[in-house]
Each structure stands twice: as C-alpha cells, then as structure tokens.
Amino acid sequence: MNTDLHNIDLNLLTVFVQIYQDRKVSVAADNLGLSQPTISNALSRLRRLLDDEVFLRTARGMQPTPLADQLALPIANALTAIREALARQLVFDATTSTRQFTMAMTDIGEFHFLPRLMKSLELAAPGVSISTIRSTAVNLKFEMESGKVDLALGHLPDLTTDFHRRKLFSQRYVCLFRKGHAMDCKTPSLDAFSIAEHAVVISAGTGHGRADDLIEDAGIKRRIRLHVPHFVALADILESSDLIATVPEAFAIRSVKHFSLTYVPHPVDLPKIDIGLFWHARYHRDPANRWLRDQVVSHFRSGDA
C-alpha cells in the first residue's frame, strides 16, 4: 500500500466512500454527478494505490474487502472534517462570535470611529470585542500581513502593495483655539497665524504629520510653545491658554461641543486628505474581516467617497 499523501487524490477517497455507501458503481456515479467510466477509472486507481481489490463485484453489488471495511469509517470521518473546516471558513456569525478584532488608528481616529462603532456592535455582535493600537507604534505592514492587525483606519499612504483600500471621507484642516482669541474672526490672516503661539501634535507618518510638513515647506514660521504626542488633552490645553493648533475639522467639531473653543478655516492652503480603510490582501475574502469592513463602511463612508 502506498501511504505517501502526495500520491493520494482526495477525489479518489470521495469515490471510495460513495461506492462503500451505495454498493453500486452506477448509483455512486449518479450521486457524485460523474460518469460510470470516471467512477470505474477512479476505482482502478484506488486498487493500485491500496494494492487491494477494495470492492468485489457480486450478485449483491460491490462488496468491500476487509481492508475497505477497515478504511471506510476513518476516511468518511476525515472527509466530513475537511468539509466542516471549509464551511467554517465561508461563514462568520457575528451574533454568536466572541472574536477580538484589532484595529490600527490614531487617538483622533478613536474619537471619531469608536463611539458609533461600539454602539452598533452592542446589537449586531454582542460577543465581539475591539482592541486598538497606534499605527505608528508597530510595523503595520508586517502586523497586518500576519493577521495580528485586522484593519487600519486613517491617512496611510505607505500601505500600497499587497493592501486593499476603501476611501471613507475627505478631511480638511482648520485652526482651533479658545473663544475670544485674537484669531477669533472670520478670516484670520497668515501674519496672525505666524505670530500666535502654537501647540503641535507630533504625528509622524500620519495625515496630520503631513500637514505640519506642508506648513514648514511653505516657509511659514510658527512660534511653537508646546509639542504633545497625541490629541487627548489638546482641547483642555487650548481652552485654558492662548495657544492655537492645526487640527482635522472632525476633531474641531467635536471639541467645540464640549469645550469653550472655536475654529476658523486654515490660513495656509492645505489640501484635504483622504481617510481610508485598509486591509491586507491575504484577508480580502476572509468572512470575519469582510464583516468588520462592512460595519465600518456602512457607518463612516460619505457620499462623495
């Protein structure tokens, strides 16, 4: 008997189980949707592979040999296990899943995406949990390729080869500061912007980092009094000082709702940036990944995306 798996065709095992169940070549052929010559050829290959007659023609149909009796149940169970494993790959039931997804985003992304997303998951997927990491804190390409990070959100121009992208919306930059600030007018001048004292969020590798680069490339000098690594405390800081900050408009809109702040169009001509949803090509057809992508797109994709 040749037990080298490289020489075993899975289709032969399917034919073997079907003949064992039906005991007739013609019936097995009908049930498998194959011709009788195809079934007979498969049976001949099985006999050579196993070095055994496997089935003998009798008046009562195809009767299994002792070896066939010995192999029938283990092979049938193995084929069932393979079918069930493949079926599980094609289905993701969010209502019963307890999977933890990991998403890469900035803290400003957490402000924007998580409240609405988590509210939605309470009903759609009560057992699913979300973990976030900073896209700049890890080797994002490697982490997403290995499946440790499921999705990334934001302006991530480095994620190109082997990645899929879906645009969600575009974002413009504005100037944010406390109410009553010297720049609190409809059209603050570029001189006023330069003279003001600035708080800057260090966000290398993100869309916000790109905005800072464009301001510097334009030769505009800023009086930077404060550098912070994230947006978490920025609104509190601006409310109690004369500092101003260049921020995405979504963050400004949220901030003026909860703090005594206001914002104006940015005096520097900064281009809008696209905020996108990214996933690795390896998981493009993964049902769980696709389900989470659909959740994000349904809640955050704007009409012009």
The arithmetic mean of pLDDT across residues 92-115, rounded, is 93
Could you tell me the CA-to-CA distances from 102 to 35, 96, 147, 265, 276 in Å, in that order? Answer: 49, 18, 9, 35, 16
**Amino acid 202: pLDDT:** 85
**Amino acid 304: pLDDT:** 46
Does 305 have pLDDT greater than 50? no
Comparing 162-171, 227-236, 296-305, the range with the smallest average pLDDT is: 296-305
Please report which helix (H) or strand (E) contains residue 74, including its range. helix 66-89
- The Cα 249–Cα 255 span in angstroms is 10
The arithmetic mean of pLDDT across residues 177-181, rounded, is 96
* pLDDT, tens only, 248-281: 998 999 999 999 999 999 999 898 889 999 999 9
Does 222 have pLDDT greater than 60? yes
Comparing 54-58, 61-65, 200-204, the range with the smallest average pLDDT is: 200-204
Torsion region of 304: left, alpha or beta (phi above 0 gives left; psi -120 to 50 gives alpha): alpha
Q: How confident is the model at residue 10 (pLDDT cuts 50, 70, 90)?
A: confident
Structural domains of the chain, with CATH: 5-89 (1.10.10.10), 100-169+274-300 (3.40.190.10), 173-271 (3.40.190.10)
Does 136 have pLDDT greater than 90? no
* pLDDT, tens only, 278-304: 999 999 989 999 999 999 999 999 754
Mean pLDDT for the chain overall: 89
Does 38 have pLDDT greater than 70? yes
**Amino acid 288: pLDDT:** 94
Q: How confident is the model at residue 214 (pLDDT cuts 50, 70, 90)?
A: confident
Residue 27 neighbours by CB distance under 10 Å: 16
**Amino acid 206: pLDDT:** 67
